[in-house]
Chains A and B, each alone.
Chain A
């Protein structure tokens, strides 16, 4: 608690001292947030949300040094959300980036993984109207694993002229490891498997998007292949390479913003415990429509519906679906500070719930109030 307070204090101090420092080519930026959850039933994301929870603190600081074509940077991130994360500061990304020209560039190190509209930016709360992004695609409990990898990336773009817009592409290959304090490891532990080293595997994929010349309409597709292997004292986990496809579109017209995504993720996981081999097949289908409106320069409001089903399971059972109606608002007090209030109407228990914090079982439906305050410089 003391350490969390100290980190928040340091961030506040930096903000008060005059926002981002820019010493010649050195840039320092950061953000910090404090969240609040209150749910009518069930404890969400391992927080004691049914009894009002403030167990959600995040902060990050990034340092970059830029020369003509080379940029070297690192972003340190700390998060504490219920039983996830903790006081340890971890590397969010750290990379060397060489941009040959507008058509070609390379990035090496710990890089953000592009997938859909928001995967690589999902931990930067200041960018969004929403307290929680659609959990069908961007589950907060598994964010640390989903959003970055150790490896390399090739990126580039082609301008197609004023009538053609712009095409951007990214291709990446690397390796990633489950977060020891994240959701997947907790789920495995609740299934009876622990690991001295969190399971990991190879990952590769790409993203292709077309920023059309019509009113900022962007359409795109991403693909990501993940695999996972881990051995522990009780057994092992094996996930052969599984391919996720994400299709997306977004549109901005004056004060109105629209976005939608459709994801498909087939998973064939095998857990081995002694002589037992337990296959676990999940066919994840997820989509959402999202709309937001800038009421004034400082006030935004919006609504989305996040839909998730496991097509391989019995879809009438709450553990195989999650449907979430969300209404949200955000108020920017100034360029640095903001506050958000959000209502969730959750149906189904497929996402975000853990037996260890819900010992009396789960109710199929739950309503939730989420709030978040933050600042960024």
Chain B
């Protein structure tokens, strides 16, 4: 009986570990407006665009970053591609705004609203958990 309980605990622990690993490995899809002529972006360029250090893509097109206001997709994007947590990211942009050095990023409360904005705005770049209509946007591959 005892050994059966031990086995259950082991299986449960293993399942939890696998679930955690899956969440860690989860990534978002980087999407951009279809007007862009390229399908790849380096991880450094992507980060620079979202921290305000770069306002243009490599081809000179103006980049307009769009973000979600919060939630797990936002957290995964920040962790994997900006190396910030949501608080650090918010402080970073508040500093830009309140010191007169720039404007706040476009923020959206839902993935669908962000997706529609990217579809409609030349130069827009954002992220979603999955792409419902791949033909409407350009899905960017991130080079590490």
* A360 proximal to B (CB < 8 A): no
A127 near B100: Cβ-Cβ < 8 Å? no
* A83 proximal to B (CB < 8 A): no
Given A127-B91, A297-B85, decide whether A29 and B98 contact each other with a Cβ distance below 8 A: yes
A102 near B55: Cβ-Cβ < 8 Å? yes
Chain B residues bordering chain A, tally (CB within 8 A): 27
Chain A residues with Cβ below 8 Å from B90 are 335
Proximity bits, A58-72, B CB within 8 Å = 1, else 0: 001010101010010
Binds A, one of B10-18, B20-28, B102-110, B133-141: B102-110
Chain A residues with Cβ below 8 Å from B103 are 27, 64, 66, 71, 73
* A376 proximal to B (CB < 8 A): yes
Nearest residue (CB) in B for A25 is: B103
Proximity bits, B49-87, A CB within 8 Å = 1, else 0: 000011110000010000000100000000000010111
Chain B residues with Cβ below 8 Å from A66 are 103
CB neighbors of B among A122-137 (8 A): 124, 126-127
Chain A residues bordering chain B, tally (CB within 8 A): 39
Chain B residues with Cβ below 8 Å from A376 are 94
Minimum Cβ distance to chain B for residue A377 (Å):
10
Chain B residues with Cβ below 8 Å from A29 are 94, 97-98, 104
A162 near B107: Cβ-Cβ < 8 Å? no
Of B53, B85, B95, B98, which contacts A60 at CB under 8 A? B98
Nearest residue (CB) in B for A126 is: B94
Chain B residues with Cβ below 8 Å from A81 are none
Minimum Cβ distance to chain A for residue B72 (Å):
13
Proximity bits, A157-168, B CB within 8 Å = 1, else 0: 101011000100
* B42 proximal to A (CB < 8 A): yes
* A229 proximal to B (CB < 8 A): no
* B44 proximal to A (CB < 8 A): yes
* A187 proximal to B (CB < 8 A): no
Nearest residue (CB) in A for B43 is: A162
Interfacial residues, chain B to chain A (CB-CB below 8 A): 42, 44, 48, 53-56, 62, 70, 83, 85-87, 90-91, 94-95, 97-104, 106-107
- Nearest first, the 4 A-B pairs at minimum CB distance are A93-B100, A124-B98, A66-B103, A120-B99
Q: List 23 A-B contacts (CB under 8 A).
A: A20-B104, A27-B97, A31-B98, A60-B98, A64-B103, A68-B62, A71-B102, A97-B102, A99-B55, A102-B53, A102-B55, A102-B56, A121-B98, A124-B99, A126-B98, A127-B91, A127-B95, A157-B53, A159-B48, A161-B44, A162-B44, A332-B87, A335-B90
